Amino acid sequence: MRTALPTRRPARALLAAALCALTIGAAATPAAADSAASARNHPAEYYLALGDSLAAGYQSLPGGGHVVGRGYAQDLARTLEGRAHAAGRPFSFTDLGCPGETSGSMADGGCRYPHPWSGSQLANAVSYLKAHRKDRVVVTLDIGANDVDGCASGGSLDLPCALNGIATVRRNLDRILGELRDAAGPHTRIVGMNLYDPFLAAWLTGDQGKALAALSVPLADALNGVIEQVDAAHRVPTADVAGAFDTNAFLPMVPLGGQLVPLNVARVLQWTNMARGDIHANDAGYQVIADAFLAEL
C-alpha cells in the first residue's frame, strides 16, 4: 500500500488538471462555436465592377478636367455594402473599370488610361474570380460603347464603321463572358448592361442634328440587341439602362430649357454631360444606371 501512495498523488493531480482542462474547454467551446457559426452564416460579400469609363465612374468637370470613381459602381457599392452590413456580413468592393476600354482591349490588354493593374482587365478579373470561387460575388459589366462611338461624328453616321463595331462587340463579349463564367464559382452573380444613346443630344443642333439623333437610335438598338443576345447565351441578365433612359421614346415632347424636345433627348441632356460634349453620365444618370443593375439583383 505504501508503495502505491506516491503514484496516487500524481494521478490525482493529473485527473484534476484534466478535469480543469475539460472545464475550460467546455467554457470556451460555445464562443468558438458561435464564431464559427457566424462565419458560416454571415460570409463576406464581394463586388467586382468591370468595363469602360462608365464602370470607372468617369465624369468631366464644369470648369475643365475630370474625375474618376464617381459613377454607378460606387453608387451600387454603397447600396450593396449597406445590405451586407445589415445582414452582419463584411463587404469588399473592387473596380477594374478603365476609361477608353474597348471590348478588344478589355480582352487582350492595352487600355490607354493609367490603371494600377498589369495585363488585360479580363485576365485580372479571371484571377479575382478564381481566388473567390467559394465566395458570394456580384460582378457588373459594361462594355461596347467605345467600339462604336467614333462612328457618329461630324454630324453624320458611318454605317460600315457601326456594323463592324457591333460585330466586334459580339465576338469579344462572347469571349469575355465565357472566360468570366468559367472562372466564377457557384455563388457568383454576373450582370451586364445595355447602353443609353448620347448622340440623341444632337437633336438640339438643327435639322441635320435631328436626322443624326433619329439615325443613332437604330444603331443603339442594334448594339444593345447584340449585348442582350450574348448575355443571354451565357445566362447573364442585362440591366436595361436603355429602357431607363427612354432611348426609343421620341414622344411625348417635354419641356427642357424653354423648349419642347422628345423625352429621350431630354433624358440624355438631364442625365449625362452632353450639354458640354461629354458622353458620360452625371451623378443623376449614374444613379439611374445603378438602379437598373439593382433591379436585376
> pLDDT band at 11, cuts 50/70/90?
very low
pLDDT of 239 above 50:
yes
Residue 153 is predicted with a pLDDT of 74
Identify the sign of the CA torsion 220, 209, 53, 90: negative
**What is the DSSP pairing of strand 66-67 with strand 59-60?**
antiparallel
Structure confidence by residue, pLDDT tens digits, 71-101 = 999 999 999 999 999 999 999 999 999 999 9
Torsions phi, psi for 287 (to 5 deg): -65, -35
pLDDT recorded at residue 8? 37
C-beta neighbour count of 17 within 10 angstroms: 10
End-to-end CA distance of the chain: 78
Q: Which letter, b or e, does each residue of 112-146 get, where b requires 16 or more Cβ atoms within 10 Å of its Cβ?
A: eeebeeeebbbbbbbebbeebeeebbbbbbbbbbb
Residue 40 has pLDDT above 60, yes or no: no
Return the C-alpha cell found at 119.
Answer: 495585363
Q: Which amino acid is at 246?
A: D
How many angstroms separate the CA atoms of 70 and 60, rounded?
10
pLDDT of the residue at 85: 97
Query: What pLDDT shows up at residue 42?
Result: 67
Using the predicted structure, report yes or no on whether residue 235 has a pLDDT greater than 80.
yes
Whether the pLDDT of residue 118 is over 50: the answer is: yes
SS3 276: helix
Alpha helices, H only, the chain: 5-41, 53-56, 72-86, 103-108, 121-131, 145-148, 159-183, 207-233, 241-244, 263-271, 283-296
Higher pLDDT, residue 20 or 81: 81
pLDDT for 155 equals 73
pTM: 0.85
pLDDT for position 156: 82
pLDDT(143) > 70: yes
Predicted confidence (pLDDT) at residue 277 exceeds the cutoff of 80: yes
Backbone angles phi, psi at 248, to 5 degrees: -95, 5
Query: Largest Cα–Cα distance in the chain?
Result: 118
What pLDDT, on a 0 to 100 scale, did the predictor assign at position 33?
40
pLDDT digits (tens, 9 = 90+) for 157-179: 899 999 999 999 999 999 999 99
Q: What pLDDT does residue 43 have? A: 87
